[in-house]
Amino acid sequence: MTDLRRAMCDATTVVVKVGSSSLTLPGGGIDVRRVDDLVDVLSEVVADGKRVIVVSSGAIATGFPAMGMTHRPRTLAGKQAAASVGQGILLAHYTSRFAGHGLRVGQVLLTVNDLVRPTSYRNAWSTLDTLLELGVVPIVNENDTVATGEIRFGDNDRLAALVAELVRAQALILLSDVDALYTAHPDSPDARRIEVVDDIDALDVDTHKAGSGVGTGGMATKLEAARMAVGAGIPVVLAAAADACGALAGDPVGTYFPPMATRRSRRLLWLADAATPQGQIVIDDGAVEALTQRHSSLLAVGVIRVHGDFQAGDPVTIVASDGRVVGRGIAQFPHDEVRVMRGRSSAWLAAEMGPAASREIIHRDAMVLSRRRRRAQSSSG
């Protein structure tokens, strides 16, 4: 263990994501030996007193050969059918192998809709926390059997980061068939392993190559997951599945992403990474400066335009006049009232609409600023 990675060894709650390519055979079907090796490592970690959540891919890749298919299905219905069969096979093997170590597992299938609404977000946390308190190892996967293209996480890397945020994990391990992040594609002769990434946004690496033939992810999705996790104060290691033991022990394997110093509340993590904005509030340059430089709340006087039909308590995107995304926040007024209030001073609002109208449109404690400034897309006027 190195001092830099001591956080990985000291973590009491760990989320371990393992990709399809690390659990299944190249042509599909479960790779029993590799699954068993991973379970053996994780069981030792649990025996040491740690709480472990496994975010497991592999349902589709496990299921399609069992259905007599010769290749991974391309249609949504085919993928969902293969996932339905494969999920049972995969979970049965997890159950059997963990049982050999005296451990129970519990299946948790999630869709985006389970995490974008505050109530179901809290319910998901409560379920996972209860399983962990009972000594059960949760096996989490996206609910491929019902998720459509519009409500998919897109890849289990992002799901793993959201789960890590949800349970307030102290470490996230991303396991795949690639042993680290490299300066170029690992097949390139001049590629060098990157041991530590202090600033993901400053990286200059090629992440365009897709993942394996049995999976859906690639390096880009892993970097996005790492960005989410470190922003939540969670250290991340990207490593090969064969190096799982070393990654969990804090050994210098794979690539390490140290956490940011501050850790947001669960509510703000939901707002930043899981919530679906219900509208946009466009603000002037003065308001942008007040939010980003002085950490102020958003007042009505700084609002230029309002898009969408949001209600009080809904998440909204905060956008600069040139289209840059400033952040997200929870609106304290519905869209129709904000439209009336925009551009007005607090004194005018208090005099004309009553004291309640002089409150902030979005309070600074219910706001997260973007780590990356990007251009927003709006379809309403």
Q: Which residues contribute to the annotated binding site for substrate?
A: 57, 144, 156
Torsion of CA 161, 18, 128, 107, to 10 degrees: 140
Q: List b or e across 121-138, with b for residues whose CB sees 16 or more CB atoms inside 10 angstroms.
A: beebbeebbebbeeebbb
What residues have CB less than 8 Å from 313, skipping those under 6 apart? 330, 331, 332
**Kind and range of the H or E run holding 351:** helix 346-353
* Residues flagged as binding site for ATP: 17, 176-177, 216-222
* Residues flagged as binding site: 17, 57, 144, 156, 176-177, 216-222
What residues have CB less than 8 Å from 32, skipping those under 6 apart? 93
Measured CA to CA, the distance from residue 17 to residue 201 in angstroms comes to 22
